[in-house]
């Protein structure tokens, strides 16, 4: 998928065209603050036309400038939204390119195959997909196994395996089967597939305002009404004092004082939040989900693959009484030479690193590899009449006793100690003689403890979910630095834990990929489903991670917090802006009538006309200047809410007070030099 993040010339050109298309009143009324500016621009245009027709030329040039800059203000706000939407549209076009008129091999009976258009497929239809075929629609593999290229959807070039049963059975329309064959049961009707939803969502067509946005819009409307009343009272006040204020000037003053900065950027901030997630290959099903991620209090994280590397690794050898550690390491390596599992390879590497035991060729040794089976729960080799086995404690106990040997109590205690400390004991035996124990351990990912510490500073509680016994879970939880854990987790236990936290007024986020995760994903406030998981999991969650990386949940929370911080920072800047413009303009307007107000004209603006025009121009240009910040987002740091508030007030609050004074004075100076007032 196209992950273009820059501002290409063609994208900006389309955004300019969209800015004009958005001048439709039905579009403008969705943003009440900018709708007031839109109405003001129309009204000043009508008054300007009236003055021209009546031959009134005294203030036409000044009114024309105000009128143009009011229209620019509306267009710049539209442009900000169009730029944010434009990047999503570019991604949508790339997704559409993956949808071709594909033919599907529909199974009409036990063996009859009918070739139909992919658009004719319905939910519950059975289809056959062979090597080289494009998967025509979303579905679940019901038979067979195949290698699938999902790069058209995920952007990931490495193929994945999809097979019937388990949590890797879901396939997505638009992807391609590379080898073998699968029978698939269609799970979505035409127009309702995952790809269709992606296209709709990245275009922003279905983006609804979040509760936070709605609340902020109500606040902005309230401020607009307050300033509308304040400006409306200026006309009778001016008449009483003998001052003349034209309608265009009053409208310009209103536009400068209402919170147009955040009003013009609010929609683009929300769209950009979803866009930032999409760049990380996470599809948010709604803006509400992104916002909820920013308010999350509790993270439920799977142990395997999220907190740990997912594969147990050999870390130590513990020889039995009378056995040397090198002898145990040699036997353990021999039994693992043909074991291609991650655990087996780690045993070979550990023996090589600790005792310089090089890998040997089983064929040259005349040895035969004995693979692991569910029945024996052991693996090893047979060499010149000698048997070496490694396996679980229970399995080796039975094996040694069958050989007439005794299982040492010291080895039993070693196994118990390893399990107590969160490891997995693997016992090695040669015939009837127990040689010792290999300690396998879930390796906690590097840097994960620091990430959890950062989350704790943000007030977020981390909970590890695992199927391990409580002792093992407690040991890994302590090493990883999580706040709590749920051992021997079942779907019911996960669901109960989420509800328990929610009853305390907390927001919960979790990841999952299996059908058994679906209830918990649906219950969680932020449910991130893995794209490699089942259809049930993807439908239950409100986000889908196309990379199927469980640690992505932490990034999702950070992006959500960045969205909220960006909105809060720009709102602070906008309101401070309005306060500054109020104290910049009003003294300049009335100091002719009340000379004492000249003391407050600290910028020494040339004339009331230049004060108004400078403020209108600055009001329009500041929206354009803040578009990159709205799209990129305020830099995120894992700090507490009190620190965020202090930084907002110092940086954006103080900046919002100072910048208008500087900007308006510079524009006023230019207007005087260019004789535009």
Say if residue 374 carries a ligand binding annotation.
Answer: yes
Say if residue 343 carries a ligand binding annotation.
Answer: yes
Angle between helices 342-355 and 325-336 (to 10 degrees): 140
Asked if residue 122 lies in contact with residue 145, where contact means CB atoms within 8 angstroms, the answer is no
Q: Hey, what are 442's tokens?
A: 């879930």
Q: Hey, what are 651's tokens?
A: 């940086």
Q: Which of 125, 138, 275, 302 is catalytic?
A: 302
Q: DSSP 3-state assignment of 316?
A: strand
What is the rounded CA–CA span in Å between residue 339 and residue 350? 14
Ordered DSSP codes for 575-625 = HHHHHHHHHHHHHHHHTTT-GGGGGG-TT--S-HHHHHHHHHHHHHHHHHH
Say if residue 315 carries a ligand binding annotation.
Answer: no
Say if residue 179 carries a ligand binding annotation.
Answer: no
403: exposed, middle or buried (C-beta count within 10 Å: 0-12, 13-18, 19+)? middle
Which structural domains are found in the chain, ordered by start? 9-90+201-279+557-674 (no CATH), 122-188 (2.70.150.10), 289-307+445-546 (3.40.50.1000), 313-406+424-436 (3.40.1110.10)
Q: Which residue bears the tokens 């009236």?
A: 50
What is the rounded CA–CA span in Å between residue 503 and residue 525? 12
Residue 303's pLDDT is 79
For the entire predicted model, the pTM comes to 0.67
- Which residues, 6+ apart, have CB-to-CB distance to 408 below 8 Å? 320, 321, 434
Asked if residue 195 lies in contact with residue 153, where contact means CB atoms within 8 angstroms, the answer is yes
Residue 623's pLDDT is 93
Q: Hey, what are 312's tokens?
A: 């147990």
Is 316 one of the catalytic residues? no
Residue 204's pLDDT is 53
What is the rounded CA–CA span in Å between residue 106 and residue 126? 6
Q: Hey, what are 127's tokens?
A: 């289809």
Say if residue 34 carries a ligand binding annotation.
Answer: no
Q: What angle do CA 656, 659, 663 make, to 5 degrees?
A: 140
What is the rounded CA–CA span in Å between residue 54 and residue 56? 6
The candidate with the shortest Cα–Cα distance to 199, out of 89, 81, 281, is 89
Say if residue 93 carries a ligand binding annotation.
Answer: no
Say if residue 403 carries a ligand binding annotation.
Answer: no
- Work out the number of other CB atoms within 10 angstroms of the CB of residue 156: 16
Q: Hey, what are 369's tokens?
A: 């590899």
The candidate with the shortest Cα–Cα distance to 441, out of 411, 462, 472, is 472
Tell me the sheet residues that pair with 429. 389, 434
Q: Hey, what are 96's tokens?
A: 């559409």
The CA radius of gyration of the chain, in Å to the nearest whole number, is 34
Say if residue 615 carries a ligand binding annotation.
Answer: no
CA 646 from centroid of its chain's CA atoms: 26
Asked if residue 573 lies in contact with residue 625, where contact means CB atoms within 8 angstroms, the answer is no
Asked if residue 463 lies in contact with residue 482, where contact means CB atoms within 8 angstroms, the answer is yes
User: What's the Cα-to-Cα distance from 234 to each of 105, 237, 241, 325, 346, rounded to whole Å?
Assistant: 74, 5, 10, 93, 81
Range list of H helices, 369-505: 393-402, 409-420, 448-457, 470-480, 491-503
Determine if residue 19 is left, alpha or beta; phi over 0 gives left, psi from -120 to 50 gives alpha, anything else beta. Answer: alpha
User: How confident is the chain (677 residues) per 10-residue block, as mean pLDDT?
Assistant: 50 85 90 92 92 77 91 93 73 56 76 80 87 85 85 62 76 82 85 66 56 82 88 80 79 89 87 80 77 86 74 87 89 84 85 80 76 80 85 88 88 87 86 90 81 82 83 83 87 88 90 78 86 75 80 83 88 88 75 70 79 90 91 78 78 90 91 84
The candidate with the shortest Cα–Cα distance to 139, out of 74, 184, 91, 72, is 184
Say if residue 390 carries a ligand binding annotation.
Answer: yes
Say if residue 378 carries a ligand binding annotation.
Answer: yes
Say if residue 517 carries a ligand binding annotation.
Answer: yes
Asked if residue 476 lies in contact with residue 468, where contact means CB atoms within 8 angstroms, the answer is yes
């Amino acid at each position: 998928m196209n992950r273009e993040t820059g501002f290409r010339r063609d994208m900006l050109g389309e955004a300019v065209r969209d800015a004009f298309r958005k001048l439709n009143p039905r579009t403008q009324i969705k943003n009440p603050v900018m709708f007031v500016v839109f109405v003001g621009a129309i009204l000043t245009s009508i008054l300007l036309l009236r003055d021209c027709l009546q031959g009134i030329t005294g203030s036409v040039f000044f009114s024309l400038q105000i009128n143009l800059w009011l229209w620019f203000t509306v267009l710049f706000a539209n442009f900000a939204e169009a730029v944010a939407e434009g990047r999503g549209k570019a991604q949508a076009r790339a997704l559409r390119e993956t949808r071709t008129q594909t033919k599907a091999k529909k199974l009409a009976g036990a063996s009859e195959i009918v070739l139909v258009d992919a658009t004719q497929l319905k939910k519950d239809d059975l289809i056959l997909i062979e090597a080289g075929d494009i998967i025509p629609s979303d579905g679940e593999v019901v038979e067979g196994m195949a290698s699938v290229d999902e790069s058209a959807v995920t952007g990931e070039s490495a193929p994945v395996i999809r097979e019937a049963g388990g949590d890797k059975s879901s396939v997505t329309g638009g992807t391609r089967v590379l080898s073998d064959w699968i029978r698939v049961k269609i799970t979505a009707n035409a127009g309702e597939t995952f790809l269709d939803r992606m296209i709709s969502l990245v275009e922003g067509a279905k983006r609804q305002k979040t509760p936070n946005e709605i609340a902020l819009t109500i606040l902005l409307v309230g401020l607009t009404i307050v300033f509308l009343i304040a400006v409306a009272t200026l006309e009778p006040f001016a008449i009483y004092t003998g001052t003349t204020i034209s309608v265009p000037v009053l409208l310009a003053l209103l536009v400068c004082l209402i919170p147009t900065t955040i009003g013009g950027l609010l929609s683009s901030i929300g769209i950009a939040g979803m866009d930032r997630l999409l760049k990380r290959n996470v599809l948010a099903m709604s803006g509400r989900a992104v916002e909820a991620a920013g308010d999350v209090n509790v993270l439920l994280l799977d142990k395997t693959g999220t907190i740990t590397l997912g594969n147990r690794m050999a870390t130590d050898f513990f020889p039995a009484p009378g056995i040397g550690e090198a002898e145990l390491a040699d036997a353990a390596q021999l039994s693992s030479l043909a074991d291609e599992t991650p655990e087996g390879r780690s045993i070979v590497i550990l023996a090589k690193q600790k005792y310089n035991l090089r890998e040997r060729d089983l064929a040259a040794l005349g040895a035969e590899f004995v693979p692991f089976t569910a029945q024996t729960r052991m693996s090893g080799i047979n060499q010149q009449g000698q048997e070496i086995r490694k396996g679980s404690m229970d399995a080796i106990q039975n094996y040694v006793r069958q050989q007439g040997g005794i299982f040492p109590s010291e080895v039993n205690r070693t196994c118990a100690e390893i399990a107590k400390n969160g490891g997995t004991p693997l016992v090695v035996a040669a015939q009837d003689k127990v040689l010792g124990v290999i300690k396998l351990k879930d390796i906690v990912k590097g840097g994960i403890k620091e990430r959890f510490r950062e989350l704790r500073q943000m007030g977020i509680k981390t909970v590890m979910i695992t199927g391990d016994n409580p002792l093992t879970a407690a040991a890994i939880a302590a090493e990883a630095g999580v706040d709590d854990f749920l051992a021997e987790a079942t779907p019911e236990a996960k669901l109960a834990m989420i509800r328990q936290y929610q009853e305390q007024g907390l927001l919960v986020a979790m990841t999952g990929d299996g059908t058994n995760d679906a209830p918990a994903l649906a219950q969680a406030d932020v449910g991130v489903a893995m794209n490699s998981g089942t259809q049930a999991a993807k439908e239950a969650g409100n986000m889908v991670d196309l990379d199927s990386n469980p640690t992505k949940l932490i990034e999702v929370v950070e992006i959500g917090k960045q969205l909220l911080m960006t909105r809060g920072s720009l709102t602070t800047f906008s309101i401070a802006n309005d306060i500054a413009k109020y104290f910049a303009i009003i003294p300049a307007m009335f100091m002719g009538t009340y000379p004492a107000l000249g003391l407050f004209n600290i910028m020494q603006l040339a004339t009331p006309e230049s004060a108004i025009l400078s403020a209108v121009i600055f009001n329009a240009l500041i929206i354009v200047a803040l578009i990159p910040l709205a799209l990129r987002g305020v830099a995120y740091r894992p700090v507490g809410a009190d620190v965020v508030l202090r930084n907002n007030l110092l940086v954006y609050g103080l900046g919002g007070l100072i910048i208008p004074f500087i900007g308006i004075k510079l524009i006023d100076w230019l207007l005087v030099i260019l004789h535009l007032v």
